[in-house]
Amino acid sequence: MSSRPKGSQWKTLDTDLNRISQVEQATAYVSRPLVATGIALAFMVLAGVMASIFFGQTPQNFVVIAAAVFGAYMAVNIGANDVANNMGPAVGANALTMGGAILIAALCESAGALLAGGDVVSTISKGIIDPASIADTRIFIWAMMAALISSALWVNLATWVGAPVSTTHSVVGGVMGAGIAAAGMSVVNWPSMGMIAASWVISPVLGGVVAAGFLAFIKARILYQEDKIAASRTWVPVLVGLMAGVFATYLALKGLNKVVTIGMSTALIIGLLVGLATYAISAPRIRRKSEGMENRNKSVKLLFGLPLVFSAALLSFAHGANDVANAVGPLAAIVHASEFGGFEAKVSIPHWVMVIGAFGISFGLFLFGPKLIRMVGSQITKLNPMRAYCVALSAAITVIIASWLGLPVSSTHIAVGGVFGVGFYREWHMERRLRRPDVTVGTVKRIAPEERRRRKLVRRSHFMTIVAAWVITVPAAATISALIFLVLNVVTN
């Protein structure tokens, strides 16, 4: 007698197996974020173990071990939030896949931090407070610990909300809040704070104006020409050479300057030479690549793809060299104060501390970076290779101008401001074209208000969320830092 199930029993078995498969898929989907969090926690523990190896596990060194854990936490958050500004435009323009962008960014960020991150870091970011005002070494250590924890928490919250914020401003707010809690309002360098507050407006506006200006130039000189391919052969090598020269200057100021002292004039000469060499190399290459192309905008976009990839990689290298200090600055201050029993405005960074910062940024990018990369690349406004090129070039030019003028600007605000600038320029340009009279009938095309709102090219909800996060970054980080400092001071007394 056969023991095989009947038809209805087979159907029931198939249904049960399908339900089990759906449960397994749902479990995998829910547990995926927990895997990333688990890996991040393991890295933080590893950072603490590394600190214990170098300092030992004596009671007085437990503060260094804790600081290493929170320094790793801050580095992971910088990778999750800040790196999106460099890679977002390239991914949004489909010049890079998400995986390719993360791999390139991780390598370039780590290389920038380890090769050009410098041996000395200013522990009191941008001279916000005077270390001499905090006479007690123990109080100074707790102030730096509070600044480290608060800035990491704020960047973590901003990443969760989906707002790219300035990690530099987060650290500045953390240091300011802990300083006020430790020694009062007089400890803060208020003129420096005023300059930083001004940069909230200067950075994104300048970045947006420069990006919009380059997009207007590309439209006028290439896209609106009768022979787009011939125009591309003339102007694309010029734009690529300009980009190479600007990035060479940018890297000389923000990367190589950490290893060899380079002034603005020397950096500009380096940029000029690199730009001319790049033009000489790219002109024949672009001419060959453009042969046989159709006279369409889509063809022009292909010519900007490779330069955009290089620009994203160079931005990541410079970011790693410049912003690793946000993760390891307060940690380096705590290590120095614990080791020597005192504190300085500038201290040397131990190699193991720099390694924590460099690898933490890469881990954060791998584990949590895609969310903000998508936000910057595709959810604020639609980007293509030409628009993304304008954003990347704007970021480098604006930092150079700010360095020349001595303005404390945020690379995050500049890059996202460039994305806003491109989007708002496209809205303005569309409105301008709609107002032109139709030559066939001599009238202006009328559009209903609902259709006009639908055609807005910048998502207003994201715009308001990001601007609000920028405005409250310093006061929010300062408030959190002051509260953490007070708690630490009470618990350890």
Cα(62)–Cα(58) distance, integer angstroms: 7
Q: Kind and range of the H or E element at 120?
A: strand 120-122
What is the predicted pLDDT for the residue at 145? 92
Judge whether 85 and 416 are in contact, CB under 8 Å.
yes
Confidence band (pLDDT; 50, 70, 90) for 305? confident
What is the predicted pLDDT for the residue at 32? 56
Question: Average of pLDDT values for 428-444?
Answer: 64
Cα(96)–Cα(378) distance, integer angstroms: 13
Q: Could you read off the pLDDT of 118-157 as tens digits, one per residue?
A: 555 555 544 677 777 777 888 888 988 999 999 999 999 9
Confidence band (pLDDT; 50, 70, 90) for 60? low
The closest alpha carbon to 333, from 480, 185, 175, 490, belongs to 175
Where on the phi/psi map is residue 406: left (φ > 0), alpha (ψ -120 to 50), or beta? Answer: left
Question: Average of pLDDT values for 103-132?
Answer: 70
| Residue 121, helix vs strand vs coil | strand
| Residue 315, helix vs strand vs coil | helix
Cα(157)–Cα(155) distance, integer angstroms: 5
Question: Average of pLDDT values for 213-225?
Answer: 91
AA letter at 169: H
What is the predicted pLDDT for the residue at 412? 80
What is the predicted pLDDT for the residue at 441? 46
Judge whether 332 and 350 are in contact, CB under 8 Å.
yes
Confidence band (pLDDT; 50, 70, 90) for 189? confident
Tokens 């100074």 -> residue: 140
* Three-state secondary structure of 396-455: HHHHHHHHHHCCCCCHHHHHHHHHHHHHHHHHHHHHHHHHCEECCCCEECCCCHHHHHHC
Of 195-209, 339-353, 472-486, which gets the smallest average pLDDT? 339-353
Q: List the structure tokens of 274.
A: 């690199």
Judge whether 350 and 55 are in contact, CB under 8 Å.
no
**CA Rg, the chain, in Å?**
26
What is the predicted pLDDT for the residue at 194? 83
- Work out the end-to-end distance of the chain between its first and last CA atoms, rounded to an integer number of angstroms: 82
Cα(336)–Cα(119) distance, integer angstroms: 13
Residue 52 has pLDDT above 60, yes or no: yes
Judge whether 474 and 167 are in contact, CB under 8 Å.
no
What is the predicted pLDDT for the residue at 216? 93
Residue 192 has pLDDT above 90, yes or no: no
* Three-state secondary structure of 336-372: HHHHHCCCCCEEECCHHHHHHHHHHHHHHHHHHHHHH
Q: List the structure tokens of 185.
A: 């309002």
Judge whether 119 and 413 are in contact, CB under 8 Å.
no
**Counting every residue, how long is the chain?**
493
Residue 168 has pLDDT above 50, yes or no: yes
Question: Average of pLDDT values for 410-429?
Answer: 86
Judge whether 399 and 414 are in contact, CB under 8 Å.
yes
Q: Could you read off the pLDDT of 67-76 as tens digits, one per residue?
A: 999 999 999 9
Q: Could you read off the pLDDT of 270-295 as tens digits, one per residue?
A: 999 999 999 999 999 999 888 888 88
Confidence band (pLDDT; 50, 70, 90) for 476? very high
Question: Average of pLDDT values for 362-391?
Answer: 85
Q: Kind and range of the H or E element at 122?
A: strand 120-122
CB neighbourhood size of 293 (10 A):
15
Residue 212 has pLDDT above 90, yes or no: yes
Residues sharing a CB contact under 8 Å with residue 287, sequence separation 6 or more, in sequence order? 233
CB neighbourhood size of 196 (10 A):
23
What is the predicted pLDDT for the residue at 484? 95
Give the CB-side neighbour count of residue 75, counting CA atoms within 13 A.
35
Where is pLDDT greater, at 345 or 490? 490
Do β-strands 346-348 and 437-438 pair in parallel, antiparallel, or remain unpaired?
Answer: unpaired
Where is pLDDT greater, at 335 or 447? 335
| Residue 247, helix vs strand vs coil | helix
What rounded mean pLDDT belongs to the chain?
80
Residue 472 has pLDDT above 80, yes or no: yes
Please state, for a pLDDT cut of 90, what percent of the chain lies above it: 18
Q: Give the pTM.
A: 0.82
The closest alpha carbon to 372, from 168, 173, 79, belongs to 79
